[in-house]
């Protein structure tokens, strides 16, 4: 292969470029999502209280949530660009926004706020049954909507999406393992005096995510809104496909918070899997009896904390072994190698939700028809459980291999080929352990959400 | 490579705060947890899932029966759930929250336990609101299934379960449970609060209020900025 071969640039397709530059993008998708979101809000706040009859719950938890990791993998944070909350944020800001600078506390600690919110919401779901309760789902969406509107009223651009959205950090991490990237041609950008992509111009707003495409070296904060494509006077923007996980191989900046969330998600996905298995109630009861706790919420909280902290501690242990060869600090090495588990996170998340999508997906259609008074009953599954299970196995194995390879490539990039394997070895062992545990959880049938 | 440097103290502090919040919240939940009553030789605990019962929402009831004297679980008992009855005086004035239900239950349980058992039928006006998925007896009562005998899994002994219960009206309901075992027969009466299934206007109003306040603040700041 020729070393100077140009990567494919999707913007070289005139029809696509015209579409992305037009005012239709991303508006046409946003209108659609806003419309569906409106129905979901009404349904979850005022519709049927039985989760099986509620279109809002079905659309959110057996359609949108299972599809979202696939979106991140294939299209980066494209979802964030068409998210109805982003539309609400832009509209609120345009009409009433004070456009203040984002406080440094939020800028510095945004990722931690997101990490903590994400953990809290996951925990709260199990305690209060957010997914199983349409009102719970409605309350969650309403609170997010309030957060979006308040931040849009006070601060500039999409402060919520960049610094506070609990899904934002997850999508940032997942899209970094994905197959699509938007970057600017640095040579072209060096000659640019206007920097319209960041500042905006008369026709198009600047980057809503506070990114300067020339300096962008990862997907974490690009939501593919298309503003830079529209505003760049030099056609510097490239939209290119890439090998999954390749972003981590040449990563130059590592953030402890991002790595921390990545490793915590291992525990979260594991908890999500375990709690949906048939033996979970008896397992929780066993925990209650063993620990002498008479309350299942407390027993779950202990399990939850255990599941969150164990992967973190295991990765710290791997780092402690590995850093003896590199001489790095524990924190630095942890931050760098924590990203290696993202492919496994993503694959496990996909595998878990694949069951809900394929075994319960028809519930979305049934409940949608229910909005028009048409009562439909029948199997909610698209394909048989064993087929889904095989697909889950495939995803988990692919994710594990992706994570193993990523850990190796991170070591190779920083410490050279000769040391790479020995430095990466402790991480490989831990990742393999996570992969096996995840695989085992998919050998047991999951219970349904609806 | 550049790494964002943050003191580990901050991270540990954040995590500790999160853990404390989780523990505090679960403790609060535990404090406002299931309903408990003594009835004859039994100590009876009733738990519902979900905790906040709403109109026409399917719920699971768990009844845990213990020997009042020894605290040991009572297994192999016949636990029969009569159709729930609605207290007409409360039907239009009940709150939606389960915490109220729990606090009511504690106060009621001390004063009512035995005296209400025999009068519940005459005190209550509406018996048509409850549906059960399990088969009903000739009197409309249903035997609850002991959890330890369900499936192949070992469960907490002395737990009896009823799935698929739903209530068709919001308000204060009474649930009568009759327990029969070699220890004797006793009846216990639990109050249940069923919330309205409509929108929670307090929540929606509060959120809207918060947004309006933020809007006023934004307008003020905008004016100041300009």
- What pTM was computed for the model? 0.78
Minimal CA–CA distance to A207: which of A190, A230, A189? A230
Judge whether A221 and A172 are in contact, CB under 8 Å. yes
Judge whether B77 and B179 are in contact, CB under 8 Å. yes
Whether pLDDT at B23 is above 70: no
CA angle A44, A448, B197 (to 5 degrees): 25
Scanning B38-57 for CB atoms below 8 A from A yields 49-51, 54-57
Q: What is the pLDDT of residue A274?
A: 85
Number of residue pairs across A and B with CB atoms under 8 Å? Answer: 131
pLDDT, tens digit, 9 for 90 and up, residues B101-116: 333 333 333 333 232 3
Residue A31 phi/psi, 5-degree rounding, is -60, -40
Minimal CA–CA distance to B83: which of B179, B173, B145? B173
Q: What ipTM does this complex have? A: 0.82
CA distance A252 to chain B (A): 6
Q: What is the pLDDT of residue B156?
A: 67
Which of A4-13, A82-91, A159-168, A204-213 bottoms out in mean pLDDT, i.e. has the lowest? A4-13
**Is B119 part of the contact surface with chain A (CB cutoff 8 Å)?**
no
pLDDT, tens digit, 9 for 90 and up, residues A34-61: 999 999 999 999 988 888 889 999 999 9
**A148 contact partners, CB below 8 Å, separation of at least 6:** A85, A88, A89, A92, A160, A165
A437 by DSSP, 3-state: which?
helix
State how far the Cα of A319 lies from the Cα of A332, in Å rounded to an integer: 9
Percent residues over pLDDT 70 in chain B: 58
Q: What is the pLDDT of residue A286?
A: 82
**Is B26 part of the contact surface with chain A (CB cutoff 8 Å)?**
yes
Q: Which of the four pLDDT bands, split at 50, 70 and 90, describes residue B163?
A: confident
Whether pLDDT at B194 is above 90: no
Judge whether A125 and A270 are in contact, CB under 8 Å. no
**First vs last Cα of chain B: how many Å apart?**
42
CA distance B78 to chain A (A): 22
Look at B154 and A27; give whichever has higher pLDDT.
Answer: A27
CB contact under 8 A, A50 and B21: no
Which of A183-192, A347-356, B73-82, B139-148 bottoms out in mean pLDDT, i.e. has the lowest? B139-148
Among chain A residues, CA nearest to B98: A128
Look at A420 and A294; give whichever has higher pLDDT.
Answer: A420
Angle at which helices A280-291 and A256-275 cross, to 10°: 110
**Is A150 part of the contact surface with chain B (CB cutoff 8 Å)?**
yes
On the question of a cis peptide bond just before residue A206, with omega within 30 degrees of 0, the verdict is no
pLDDT, tens digit, 9 for 90 and up, residues A389-430: 999 999 999 999 999 999 999 999 988 999 899 999 999 999
Residue A428 phi/psi, 5-degree rounding, is -60, -40
**For residue B225, which residues of chain A lie inside 8 Å, CB to CB?**
98-100
**Is B154 part of the contact surface with chain A (CB cutoff 8 Å)?**
yes
CA-to-CA dists, residue A261 to A111, A174, A177, A340, B189, angstroms: 9, 11, 14, 12, 48
Q: What is the pLDDT of residue B130?
A: 44
Scanning A204-243 for CB atoms below 8 A from B yields none
Residues A78-95 have a mean pLDDT of 95
């Amino acid at each position: 292969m020729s070393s100077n071969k140009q990567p494919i640039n999707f913007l070289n397709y005139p029809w696509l470029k015209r579409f992305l530059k037009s005012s239709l993008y991303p508006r046409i998708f946003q209108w659609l999502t806003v419309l569906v979101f409106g129905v979901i809000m009404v349904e979850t706040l005022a519709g049927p209280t039985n989760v099986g009859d509620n279109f809002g719950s079905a659309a959110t938890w057996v359609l949108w949530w299972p599809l979202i990791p696939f979106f991140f993998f294939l299209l980066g944070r494209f979802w964030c660009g068409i998210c109805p909350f982003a539309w609400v944020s832009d509209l609120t800001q345009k009409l009433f926004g004070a456009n203040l600078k984002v406080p440094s506390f939020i800028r510095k600690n945004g990722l931690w706020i997101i990490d903590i919110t994400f953990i809290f919401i996951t925990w709260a779901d199990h305690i209060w049954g957010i997914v199983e309760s349409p009102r719970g789902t409605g309350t969650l969406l309403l609170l997010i909507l309030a957060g979006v509107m308040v931040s849009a009223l006070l601060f500039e651009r999409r402060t919520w999406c960049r610094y506070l959205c609990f899904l934002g950090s997850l999508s940032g991490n997942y899209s970094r393992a994905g197959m699509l990237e938007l970057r600017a041609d640095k040579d072209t950008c060096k000659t640019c005096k206007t920097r319209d992509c960041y500042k905006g111009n008369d026709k198009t707003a600047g980057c809503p995510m506070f990114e300067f495409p020339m300096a962008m070296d990862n997907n974490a904060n690009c939501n593919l809104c298309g503003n830079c494509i529209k505003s760049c006077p030099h056609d510097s923007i490239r939209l290119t496909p890439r090998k999954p996980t390749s972003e981590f191989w040449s990563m130059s900046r590592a953030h402890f918070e991002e790595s921390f969330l990545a490793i915590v998600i291992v525990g979260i996905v594991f908890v999500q899997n375990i709690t949906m298995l048939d033996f979970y109630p008896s397992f929780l009861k066993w925990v209650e009896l063993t620990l002498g706790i008479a309350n299942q919420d407390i027993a779950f909280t202990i399990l939850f904390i255990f599941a969150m902290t164990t992967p973190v501690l295991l990765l710290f242990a791997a780092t402690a072994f590995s850093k003896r060869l590199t001489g790095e600090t524990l924190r630095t090495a942890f931050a760098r190698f924590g990203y290696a588990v993202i492919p496994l996170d993503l694959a496990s998340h996909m595998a878990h939700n694949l069951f809900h999508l394929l075994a319960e997906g028809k519930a979305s259609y049934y409940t949608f028809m229910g909005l028009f008074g048409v009562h439909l009953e029948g199997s909610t599954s698209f394909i048989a459980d064993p087929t889904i299970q095989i697909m889950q196995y495939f995803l988990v194995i692919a994710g594990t291999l992706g994570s193993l390879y990523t850990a190796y490539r991170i070591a190779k990039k920083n410490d050279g080929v000769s040391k790479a394997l020995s430095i990466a070895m402790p991480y490989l062992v831990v990742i393999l352990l996570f992969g096996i545990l995840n695989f085992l959880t998919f050998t047991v049938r999951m219970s349904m959400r609806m | 490579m550049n790494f964002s440097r943050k003191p580990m103290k901050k991270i540990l502090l954040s995590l500790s705060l999160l853990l404390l919040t989780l523990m505090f919240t679960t403790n609060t939940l535990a404090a406002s947890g299931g309903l408990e009553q003594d009835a004859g030789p039994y100590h009876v605990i009733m738990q519902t899932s979900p905790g906040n019962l709403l109109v026409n929402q399917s719920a699971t009831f768990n009844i845990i029966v213990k020997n009042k004297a020894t605290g040991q679980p009572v297994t192999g008992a016949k636990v029969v759930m009569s159709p729930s009855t609605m207290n007409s005086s409360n039907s239009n004035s009940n709150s939606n929250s389960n915490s109220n239900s729990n606090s009511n239950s504690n106060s009621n349980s001390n004063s009512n336990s035995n005296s209400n058992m025999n009068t519940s039928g005459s005190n209550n006006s509406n018996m048509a609101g409850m549906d059960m998925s399990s088969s009903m007896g000739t009197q409309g009562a249903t035997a609850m299934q002991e959890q330890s005998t369900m499936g192949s899994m070992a469960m907490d002994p002395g737990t009896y379960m009823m799935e698929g219960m739903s209530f068709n009206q919001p308000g204060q309901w009474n649930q009568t449970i009759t327990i029969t075992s070699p220890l004797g027969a006793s009846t216990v009466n639990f109050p249940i609060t069923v919330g309205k299934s409509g929108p929670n206007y307090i929540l929606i109003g509060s959120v809207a209020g918060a947004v309006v306040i933020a809007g006023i603040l934004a307008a003020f700041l905008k004016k100041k900025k300009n």
